[in-house]
Amino acid sequence: MSAITSMLLPSIKVFDSGAYLVLALWVIGAVAVGGLMFMISFLVLISIIIINIDKSRKLRIMNRMAKKMEAPLMITDVMSKYIDVVKLSRSEHTARAYSNALKVFKNVLVEKWLDPQTTPIEKLTEDVIAPFAMYLKVFAPSTEFLYLQAVKGFYEYVDSERYLEINISRVRTLIRQRARRPGIRLPQFPVEDIEKILGHLTDPAGIVPFGKSVDDENERLRAVRDRAFLLMLADTGLRVHEACNLRRGDIDWNEGRAVIIGKGDKQAVVRFSTRSMRAIKDYLAMRSQLDGGSGKQLGTLPLFARHDKGAGKKIKPITPTTGRNIVAERVKEILGKDAVGKITPHSFRHYFVTTILRASGNLKLAQELARHSNIQVTQRYAHLSDDELDKGYYDIFEQKNK
């Protein structure tokens, strides 16, 4: 009897208290009455176990039905979750580019009768990759490549999160067979115009907009700030978002350098020229009263602050949009409205790399100072200007024929 009890006990302990009561009766009856009570109680016990097993089966069936009754995730819902993940691991610029890629992908899905708003994620297939790649032929090869990478990442996310089983190998093959390879573009920027701007910035007063009073404190602050900002872009090669994120405490004023978190969240050392350091110090000296009244440690304050009515007396950092506006406004004032759009903040970075190459001819040096992870990016700048080509052609052919 003890052997039978030990076998049944693990099974019945998951059921209700009635089973325990019957077990107790069974043990007592077996001892007091003998075989008849044992048989009756045993049959009752088995019945209760069977009933509870049946309840457990029904419960599992009900759970499965409840899951099926839950509102299914639509493709657009999973896309939103994917972009949220990208924002956690990549830069804001990358997240924005991937979001744009998915907007284009949505258009293709609609054309293929898979409206992302109303189509469950389970209906997504790899077959949409081919028409999506064809749809992208109206874009530049570099944009096509970026958008295909974004959508490939989306499929990988869907598979890894187990929303749907995806044949990732097929996705990659479809992309590889249909994607154009981006050509190597030589950076185009007006070197002479940039040098004209930098020459104009030598005089801080020269950058105050025409028709505006030099006695206006905010206008003078903006003028000196913009001068320091543009000189720094040209002499450091900083990207616009990197420049806008700088704080006063980031700069080692004795060494003339700063440690920044750059593209791809990589730490890097950026060096400052004497003229850019002087321009920044002129700006901060003029801003000292505002900084002192902020109630914050100077090292935590932004290196470049807003000076508009919205900021008031508060020290608020400029944004990349403000940085682009600074360039556009000063280009218009110095070169005229026809030059607006031809020179952007990144044009100063092109100028920085080209200046290093022309002065040193050292490709590795330019790569390290520009913080290019791939030297092929730096090699795009190692081309001769039209003037240098004209001179080389003249020296070869014209001198030969004299």
Question: What does the pLDDT look like over 216-227, one tens digit per residue?
Answer: 778 889 999 999
In a domain, 200, yes or no: yes
d(CA 226, CA 214): 15
In a domain, 27, yes or no: yes
Average pLDDT over residues 15-25: 53
Does an H or E element contain 97, and which?
helix 92-111
Residues 60 and 81 in one domain: no
- Cβ-proximal residues to 11 (8 Å cutoff; 6+ apart), any chain: 49
Under the banding of pLDDT at 50, 70 and 90, the label for residue 238 is very high
In a domain, 246, yes or no: yes
Max Cα–Cα distance, the chain, nearest Å? 134
Residues 86 and 230 in one domain: no
In a domain, 123, yes or no: yes
CATH number, domain at 227?
1.10.443.10
Tally: H helices and E strands in the chain: 18, 3
pLDDT in tens, 337-373: 888 888 999 999 999 998 888 888 888 888 899 888 8
Angle ∠(237,240,241) on CA atoms, nearest 5? 120
Residues 104 and 238 in one domain: no
Residues 336 and 248 in one domain: yes
Tally of CB atoms within 10 A around 13? 10
Q: Above 60 in pLDDT, residue 214?
A: no
Give me the pLDDT at residue 226, please. 94
In a domain, 203, yes or no: yes
Under the banding of pLDDT at 50, 70 and 90, the label for residue 2 is very low
Residues 108 and 56 in one domain: no
As for how many domains the chain has, the answer is: 3
Under the banding of pLDDT at 50, 70 and 90, the label for residue 14 is very low
pLDDT exceeding 90 applies to what percent of the chain? Answer: 49
Give me the pLDDT at residue 326, please. 94
Residues 197 and 336 in one domain: yes
Last residue within a domain, chosen from 153, 178, 203: 178
Q: Above 60 in pLDDT, residue 236?
A: yes
In a domain, 250, yes or no: yes
Residues 99 and 237 in one domain: no
Question: Smallest Cα–Cα separation from 243: which of 209, 280, 275, 207?
Answer: 280
DSSP 304: S
pLDDT exceeding 70 applies to what percent of the chain? Answer: 73
In a domain, 366, yes or no: no
Average pLDDT over residues 163-184: 88
Give me the pLDDT at residue 295, please. 87
Q: Above 90 in pLDDT, residue 396?
A: no
Residues 106 and 226 in one domain: no
DSSP 301: S
Give me the pLDDT at residue 342, please. 87
Last residue within a domain, chosen from 178, 208, 225: 178
Give me the pLDDT at residue 176, please. 93
d(CA 158, CA 102): 14
pLDDT in tens, 24-80: 555 555 555 556 666 666 666 666 666 665 555 655 666 555 545 567 899 999 999
Q: Above 90 in pLDDT, residue 273?
A: yes
Give me the pLDDT at residue 63, please. 56
Give me the pLDDT at residue 376, please. 78
Question: pTM for this one?
Answer: 0.62
Give me the pLDDT at residue 337, please. 87
Give me the pLDDT at residue 8, please. 43
DSSP H helices in 318-370: 320-335, 345-360, 363-370
Residues 169 and 220 in one domain: no
Last residue within a domain, chosen from 69, 92, 122: 69
Q: Above 90 in pLDDT, residue 387?
A: no
Q: Above 80 in pLDDT, residue 316?
A: yes
pLDDT in tens, 99-144: 999 999 999 999 999 999 999 999 999 999 999 999 999 998 889 9
Q: Which domain holds residue 216?
A: 193-345
Does an H or E element contain 235, and which?
helix 217-236
Residues 260 and 340 in one domain: yes
Which residue would you say has higher pLDDT here, 321 or 66?
Answer: 321
Under the banding of pLDDT at 50, 70 and 90, the label for residue 185 is low
Give me the pLDDT at residue 15, please. 44
Does an H or E element contain 243, and which?
helix 240-244
Q: Mapping DSSP to helix (H, G, I), strand (E, B) and coil, where does residue 25 land?
A: helix
CATH number, domain at 137?
1.10.150
d(CA 267, CA 297): 23
Residues 96 and 47 in one domain: no
Residues 148 and 248 in one domain: no
In a domain, 357, yes or no: no
Exposed / middle / buried, residue 305 (Cβ in 10 Å: 0-12, 13-18, 19+): buried
